Amino acid sequence: MYYDFYSAANKAYGDNQIRVDNSPVTYALYSGDVNQDGTIDLGDGSLIDNDATNFVSGYAATDVNGDGIVDVADAVFADNNALNFISRITP
């Protein structure tokens, strides 16, 4: 089965997506909750900072942007989402 999450914010439960492109209109899921507690916050930022300091690479939960390296770019995603109080929406 194929389901398109990208064409509208309401494709995910709670309209919990962000528009990332206008042409074509594309939505994405938020990233940065690396400790899976439901909220992107300082706890996630600390884990990302620790892994960035240790030059972690490869598949890691703290690699928020998926480029294979934990670095300041991952921290920026988590920090921005934490500042916007992004959290999990569940039924």
Residue 60 has a pLDDT of 95
* Residues comprising the chain, all counted: 91
Class of domain 31-91: mainly alpha
pLDDT digits (tens, 9 = 90+) for 2-44: 888 778 888 888 888 888 888 888 888 888 999 999 999 999 9
One-letter amino acid of 15: D
pLDDT digits (tens, 9 = 90+) for 36-61: 999 999 999 999 999 999 999 999 99
32 contacts 77 by C-beta, under 8 angstroms: yes
Domain coordinates in residue numbering, the chain: 1-29, 31-91
Residue 56's CB: how many other CB atoms inside 10 A?
Answer: 19
How sure is the predictor about 89, in pLDDT bands with cuts at 50, 70 and 90?
confident
43 contacts 61 by C-beta, under 8 angstroms: no
Residue 50 has a pLDDT of 96
pTM for this structure?
0.81
